[in-house]
Amino acid sequence: MSRQVITETVSDKEGGVRLDRWVKRRMPMTQGELEKLLRTGQIRVDGARAKANTRLEAGMAVRLPPFQSKVAKDSDAPWSAPAKPNAKALAFLKPLILHEDDEMFVLNKPAGIAVQGGTGQGGRHIDGMLDALSDGEHRPRLVHRLDKATSGLLLIAKHPAAASRLGDLFHSRDMDKIYWAVTVGVPHPPAGQLRSWMRKGVGEEGRERMVMGAHGDRISKHAITDYVTVSTAARRAAWVALKPSTGRMHQLRFHMHELGTSILGDDKYETRREVPLGVAKGLHLHARALVIPRKSGKPLTVQAPLSGTMKQTFETLGFLESEAGRDPLDLF
């Protein structure tokens, strides 16, 4: 840590990042320590006092004082320098890349691998391998999450400015997200919009899951999903396209269960309907498409081809990807 005051200019790759995150990359510390430095004016932006949530712009000058945290941990620095790339991780991730530009990687995540480590996950996970995709300056960062059992598109930001822009877009309605699912039974009506209040709860088996909430309940979240039935296998199963406007935990799985046609292979939101014979095991939910606004020009559309469980069951039930058309938004 420097023993003198330094002033650093915000780079183009870090424009749009919150001040607290920018500072912690350079000076690992707790949030409380950072807030104190801001209150006392020891950290300044363009010579003026600033708040932790101030959004920095490229070219701004940030004053950093001499400081040594007593309790800071590595996890306090989300954009710390990347570790040495792992050849095995790179060999695993490279074939998954569907798109790359100066802001992002878009991966086609296989079902069965966790996006992040955590309780019950164990083993390798996507986040733990991202050093392999580093440019040597910034460690790539997850923009969003997918359940371990869900396959499909996963958006990775290359640097802090990209994480800020893409994160804001992903959690707004400006970026369209399309998922494909195979349901047990056929939704009725075959297309529509699902709106509900949902919150975390506990199922009959004692596992955490989303349950029906209520308007006005401070812990309930409003969830909105548009859905379209693309094709059916008699009355046994259906291929459904889903377009969420909100991003709640297990939203699509919860909404299909509430409609009475749970997603095939979902052991947390199970259906009482008879499961079709001969289908593959595993959750049949696939993050199919992202339509990502660019800074200029037309939006970027990325689509993830089916693989594994979903591909096998499509072949078994006679569903053809071409039935959905070329533009993923045409269905809606």
Q: Output the CA–CA distances (angstroms, integers) from residue 313 to 92, 144, 230, 261, 281, in the order listed.
A: 25, 27, 15, 17, 9
Q: Tokens 């320098």 sit at which residue?
A: 81
Q: What amino acid occupies position 303?
A: Q
Three-state secondary structure call for residue 132: helix
CA distance 248 to 299: 24
Of the residues 20, 127, 147, 266, only one is catalytic, namely: 147
Residues 6+ apart with CB under 8 A from 182: 237, 238, 239, 240, 263, 264, 279, 284, 310, 313, 314, 317, 319
Cα(264)–Cα(149) distance, rounded to whole angstroms?
Answer: 12
Residue among 4, 5, 8 at smallest CA distance from 61: 8
| Nearest one of 86, 77, 47 to 160, comparing CA atoms | 77
DSSP strand pairing (97-100 vs 61-64)? unpaired
- Residue 267 tokens read as 């052991």
- CA 116/CA 145 separation, integer angstroms: 8
* Residue 19 backbone class (left: φ over 0; alpha: ψ -120 to 50; beta: rest): alpha
266 is catalytic: no
Is the separation of the CB atoms in 279 and 316 below 8 Å? yes
Distance in angstroms (rounded) separating the CA atoms of residues 31 and 76: 8
* Alpha helix ranges (H) inside the chain: 19-26, 31-39, 87-93, 160-170, 251-258, 308-317
Q: What does the block give as tokens for 101?
A: 């530009």
Q: Which residues are catalytic?
A: 147
